[in-house]
A = this chain, B = another copy of it.
Amino acid sequence: MIGRSEDYVERLKGYRRTIYVAGKRIENWIEHPNIRPVINAIAKTYDLAQNFAVFSDLVGEKVNVLNAVIRSQEDLIKRYDFQRELSLKLATCNYRCTGCDAINSLYPVTKMIDERNGSDYHKRFIEFLKEIQKRDLVCTSALTDVKGDRSKRPLQQEDMFVRVVRKDEKGIYVSGAKVHQSGAFAADVNFVLPTQTFREGEEKFAIAFASLPEDNVKFVLQNTGVQAKFREGGSFEMGNPKFGDRTTCMVIFKETFIPWERVFVFEDLKATRDLLTLFACSHRCVGASCKAGFMDSMAGAASLMLKVNGLENVPALRQKVAEIVAFSEAAHAIAIGGAVKGYKIADSWQPSREIANSAKIVGIEGFMKSIANLIDIAGGIPATSPSEFDLKGEIGEEVKKFMQGSEKFSAEDRMKVIKFVEFWVMSSHLVGAFHGGGSPSAALIFLQFLADLKEREKAVCDLLDIKS
């Protein structure tokens, strides 16, 4: 079943959450100007999901692809198509993609754990997942530990990593903090996964579990310029007024109790390694479609910008728009290629690891050039424009007069497009594109180990009659 956005928002009202924004714990968190856009974005994932539903044999009906175990190329392509559409229509994070990555990592990993150990993690996970699928719950995940001093190992600074501090019959108690977490404060379920592999002796960090609204957790929101703008209000000054910029948080656990039913990896170094590989590749591949959708939005903004300025017939500028489209189409195509060249593991279909990592490396280049092209097309005005408040304030008449471009658009419409471009080129998008799912450098290191150089070397040796 595909859920309804109203039900999601209704559910949120029942969650008492400890959320800090700009130094204060906020009360009516659902309506807070930095959180409402996140909820709007997530709500939209319900409204658009119908076309992308896939059948789940776990619950015997069609479910939201964002909560599905991906079993085939086709389903994975469906996921990527949905992701691209969401990115285009939201112009920000949909917040549920990491949930899907977590589901598609935990599903095979728990199966493999049980096959090794005869345990029942997989069954436990499936029970939990069925509930998610039936109710179309919103899932996110949290990976990156705060890490402290990067030159130290975890045991030298335990506080800097989420870890088991105690366990009993009913469950485990965890402490630590995750950063870079997108949207968990507005989700139903937050999967907590390890940030890195660990060595022998570091088992306490090698855990994965699900956190629910009832858990003792604190969220501290990021604070960027866009967030500050949202707190000041207005109807379009913040660029993407309905859905905002990707909003992340720090998630703090302090002896937080997690019942065994929600613990899916427990002090297991091998499972942690597998989980990380699966999650990273899953996220990097879908990331290409995500960025494709963002670049689609930039292409739309660029094209509109030409029109509001009366420049839509200048070939050199139209060509720069076309180049953004090229980067977008290529990025999505890479993800599709990753889906097709994927592999089956423990009843799940995973994208090609080589392509997933390559997507990151090639994708970021296109993303930067798209931003550069958008800036080039838009001119300096996204950085220097007066505000919506000026347009509507004491000086409004003159601002309106002087911000007018093509007669086909009102000055207000022109300013909306300008502020939207500002949002693309002066917000967290570039940083997000670099580091979401790990940096290009990380992808390159990964690829160093994945790449089948032997076969490539052999082909060269055959050409040259080298026998070594």
Contact = CB atoms under 8 A, between A and B. Distances in A.
Interface string A361-398: 11001101001100110011111111111101111001
A137 interface: no
A254 to B, nearest CB: 8
A90, A439, A458, A466, most chain B CB atoms within 10 A:
A466
A441 B387 contact: no
Contacts of A416: 464-466
Given A333-B341, A430-B375, A432-B380, A252 B402 contact: yes
A307 B24 CA distance: 30
Contacts of A148: 310, 404-405
* Copy total for this chain: 4
Contacts of A330: 330, 334, 355, 358-359, 361-362
B403 A146 contact: yes
Contacts of A243: 463
A220 B385 CA distance: 9
26 contacts: A22-B389, A24-B394, A91-B463, A148-B310, A180-B384, A220-B386, A222-B383, A223-B386, A236-B465, A240-B463, A249-B384, A296-B456, A297-B460, A300-B457, A315-B316, A319-B448, A327-B362, A330-B355, A330-B358, A333-B355, A365-B365, A380-B432, A380-B434, A383-B431, A383-B432, A420-B460
Contacts of A309: 149-150
The bracket for how many chain A residues form the interface is 35 or more
A232 to B, nearest CB: 6
Contact of A336 (B23, B160, B340): B340
A199 interface: no
A357 interface: yes
A422 B431 CA distance: 9
Given A297-B459, A316-B441, A407-B149, A447 B322 contact: yes
Contact of A405 (B23, B149, B218): B149
Interface string A398-434: 1101111111110001001100101001111011101
A10 interface: no
Given A430-B425, A453-B299, A456-B88, A333 B322 contact: no
Given A22-B389, A464-B241, A316 B313 contact: no
A237 B223 contact: yes
Contacts of A428: 383-384, 426
Contact of A327 (B358, B388, B398): B358
